[in-house]
A = this chain, B = another copy of it.
Amino acid sequence: MATMNAFYAQSGGVTAVINASAAGVIETARAHPGRIGKVFAGRNGIIGALTEDLIDTSEEPAEAIALLRSTPGGAFGSCRYKLKSIDANRREYERLIEVFRAHAIGYFFYNGGGDSADTCFKVSQLSQAMGYPLQAIHVPKTVDNDLPITDCCPGFGSVAKYVAVSALEASLDVRSMARTSTKVFVLEVMGRHAGWIAAAGGLIEDEGIPVVVLFPEIPFDEQAFLARVDALVKQHGFCTVVVSEGAQYADGRFLAEQGARDAFGHAQLGGAAPVIAGLVREHLKYKFHWAVADYLQRAARHIASATDAKQAYELGVAAVEMALAGHNAVMPTIDRTSDTPYAYRIGMAPLANVANVEKFMPRDFITPDGFGITPACKRYLRPLIQGEDYPQYRNGLPVFATLKNVAVARKLPEFTL
């Protein structure tokens, strides 16, 4: 078998550990020089492939690649750029194959969420239709934790840990001030459609904190919510609310809708926390504070879950191993085999079963009243936030990798997006 190069790209919103997957892919590819030539990365994700803007990762020393394991963000750049269907824009898919052919790329590693799994699957299909041999492997990544089949998604465990730790710390703050000051603290977290991230806030209940969680999956019932907050404040003196950015009324209106939409057509949200705080002020008259964690949560490499960072790396490794074993149009998965002690093995899912399927919180992970998480949910979440995988620090700040990102010489005519 001829030695072919590999292409790796990061797609969609980045995470605290997506670069750990990149390290897994690159280091494993480097360990098989007879099978895989160079790893080219797409600058700014799939846009780099379309515009033939490739990064030669072989220019990076081993130490820089190793440092990716503890560097948040996307080291090669990511993008929100959704390829249309093959029928609607065959030109883009054919361009991808042209670029891959020009650079002798036989392996396509795409590191992203649900939309990207779909793209990866289509690229695989088209390469077969066009008679260009390409192995397309999807490396899962999403803080939203909404990919099917895999037990969890790299990036989620670290956000979950950030949310649980931050909500706990802020709750201790509020508890100590509640006598004369803030009684209700509202923390807004990510999660457009699925409430996995908000659910992590429910873990602080077992640390003695009265907490109300608002999930996108549960239509927001203002009266029930206010009654619950009021009861908790009357009982405990204070209460913490963890609200998903995707929390919505029964008619589908988001609590906070800013009007803007991203490239995938998703509404760009932000601002559910002040809406909730306003309700508390208006109807309950309790003093409140609110925080919106936004990017802080998904970038928080400083408090990454060791379990998550390890799995992100392992799935990068597994993707390359699957390619070397001849697989195509698949995604490595985390297959949990035990909650306590936590155990899992790496599985493999066909992309046909992954693309365009969103995994929501099961109803039995949410308490009957809709404001908390059940013991089953806690059993699910706890292993995912286990362990601290601290970055190195220098002069008080974490040491993060900044790569050289040397461009590969272009061989093709320009391409307009």
On whether the beta carbons of A176 and B294 are closer than 8 Å, the reply is no
Please tell me which stretch of A88-96, A311-319, A381-389 contacts chain B, meaning at least 4 of its Cβ atoms lie within 8 angstroms of it: A381-389
A30 close to chain B: CB less than 8 A: no
Residue of B nearest to A73 (CB): B172
A173 close to chain B: CB less than 8 A: yes
A172 with B294, Cβ < 8 A, contacts A79-B181, A181-B262 known: no
A263 close to chain B: CB less than 8 A: yes
A296 with B170, Cβ < 8 A, contacts A179-B44, A271-B274 known: yes
A73 with B175, Cβ < 8 A, contacts A270-B290, A299-B169 known: yes
Copies in the complex: 2
Interface residues of A in 331-390 (CB under 8 A from B): 382, 385-388, 390
The count of residues in chain A whose C-beta lies closer than 8 Å to any C-beta of chain B is: 78
CA distance A16 to B170 in the complex (A): 10
A170 with B207, Cβ < 8 A, contacts A81-B180, A176-B10, A179-B77 known: no
CA distance A81 to B16 in the complex (A): 41
On whether the beta carbons of A396 and B164 are closer than 8 Å, the reply is yes
On whether the beta carbons of B262 and A172 are closer than 8 Å, the reply is no
Task: Please provide the 5 A-B residue pairs with the shortest distance between their CB atoms, ordered closest to farther.
Answer: A73-B172, A74-B176, A385-B396, A291-B294, A169-B299
**Would you mind naming 12 contact pairs between A and B with Cβ atoms under 8 Å apart?**
A14-B173, A72-B173, A80-B180, A166-B296, A169-B296, A172-B400, A208-B402, A274-B274, A291-B292, A291-B296, A385-B396, A390-B390
